[in-house]
């Protein structure tokens, strides 16, 4: 039997340190015996939802220019989630597919046009799917697809989906 934990989240924090603190709080609450006496580490953990991390160090017009020229992959180095994970602050041991799709936030609702409100927000990859395997000798994963669903217009973001195969040895 394989225990899989899905964590659906939608944090609304003002900055990267608050987002990191929310991640740590949720993670500790779920996996700590202190907070959850029945906690046992799942073999597979999947975090998905609006993690609310943004692009940092780039303004909206240069970011949109890269997206229009289909060069959005160059924005990945500005992604707060990647920056914080690389610093060891969050998602240690988690895997995520490559961000080959356009940033999924913030759109005008009902369209595929990025935010035209007075805030003119910087497009970002806020919606994410990450996974962690506790024992890679017993379970392996193969990510076959990680993409946004651009044909959905009912929100200010485009949802993401992943097709992941897990093989239990």
CATH number at residue 59: 3.60.10.10
Q: Can you tell me whether residue 64 is helix, strand or coil?
A: helix
Tens-binned pLDDT, residue by residue, of the chain (169 aa): 555 555 555 555 457 888 788 777 777 776 665 666 666 677 888 888 888 899 999 999 999 999 999 999 999 999 999 999 999 999 999 999 999 999 999 999 999 999 999 999 999 999 999 999 989 999 999 999 999 999 999 999 999 999 999 998 8
The CA–CA distances, whole Å, from 103 to 71, 87, 112, 152 equal 11, 22, 11, 14
* pLDDT reported for residue 13: 47
Q: Which domain holds residue 114?
A: 4-168
Domain count, the chain: 1
- Interior CA angle at 20 toward 139 and 57, to 5°? 110
Q: Note if the pTM is more than 0.85.
A: no
Q: What is the pLDDT of residue 37?
A: 67
Other Cβ atoms less than 10 A from the Cβ of 46: the count is 18
């Amino acid at each position: 039997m394989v225990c899989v934990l899905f964590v659906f989240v939608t944090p609304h924090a003002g900055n990267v340190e608050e987002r990191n603190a929310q991640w740590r709080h949720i993670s500790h609450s779920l996996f700590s015996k202190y907070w959850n006496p029945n906690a046992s580490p799942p073999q597979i953990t999947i975090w998905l939802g609006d993690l609310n991390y943004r692009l940092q160090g780039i303004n909206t017009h240069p970011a949109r220019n890269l997206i229009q020229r289909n060069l959005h992959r160059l924005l990945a180095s500005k992604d707060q989630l990647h920056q914080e994970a690389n610093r060891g602050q969050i998602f240690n041991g988690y895997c995520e597919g490559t961000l080959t799709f356009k940033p999924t936030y913030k759109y005008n609702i009902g369209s595929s046009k990025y935010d035209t409100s007075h805030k003119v927000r910087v497009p970002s990859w806020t919606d994410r799917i990450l996974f962690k395997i506790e024992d890679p000798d017993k379970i392996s994963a193969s990510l076959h697809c990680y993409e946004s669903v651009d044909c959905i217009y009912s929100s200010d973001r485009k949802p993401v989906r992943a097709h992941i195969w897990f093989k239990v040895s």
